[in-house]
């Protein structure tokens, strides 16, 4: 899984479209504005964006943050260029914005 907390991290990803990068960039900007650009996503408030590409990524989110991206209800669900964007509000000060390959979700339906 690719965890993203800074916009410049998108420069290293060649496997997603510019439209998807733009949406991720916007989500990262919102988190950075609200919680700071140098936050520790594992220990501080705020949260992160992530690109979910396989079953191990799904398991990691469930084990680490107790988020079942396939079955939990998300605050936002949006399809963007073959990915499903889901916003999960973990607490009043922590959110995970997951970008999940649509084909991965389809295989569990």
Total number of domains constituting the chain: 1
Rounded mean pLDDT of 23-29?
A: 97
Task: Output b/e per residue, 40-61; b: 16+ Cβ within 10 A.
Answer: ebeeebbbbbbbbbeeebbebb
pLDDT digits (tens, 9 = 90+) for 48-105: 999 999 999 999 999 999 999 988 999 999 999 999 999 999 988 899 999 999 999 8
The pLDDT of 18-44, averaged and rounded, is 92
Residue 109 has pLDDT above 70, yes or no: no
- The whole domain housing 100 covers 2-9+17-106
Other C-beta atoms closer than 10 Å to the C-beta of 67 total 19
pTM of this prediction? 0.93
User: 41 or 30: whose pLDDT is higher?
Assistant: 30
């Amino acid at each position: 899984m690719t965890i993203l907390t800074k916009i410049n991290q998108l420069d290293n990803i060649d496997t997603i479209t510019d439209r998807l990068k733009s949406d991720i960039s916007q989500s990262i900007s919102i988190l950075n504005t609200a919680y700071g650009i140098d936050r520790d996503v594992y220990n501080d408030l705020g949260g992160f964006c992530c690109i979910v590409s396989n079953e191990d990524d799904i398991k990691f989110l469930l084990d680490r943050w107790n988020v079942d991206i396939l079955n939990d209800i998300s605050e936002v669900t949006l399809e963007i260029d073959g990915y499903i964007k889901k916003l999960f509000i973990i607490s009043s000060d922590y959110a995970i914005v997951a970008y999940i390959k649509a084909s991965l979700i389809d295989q569990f339906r």
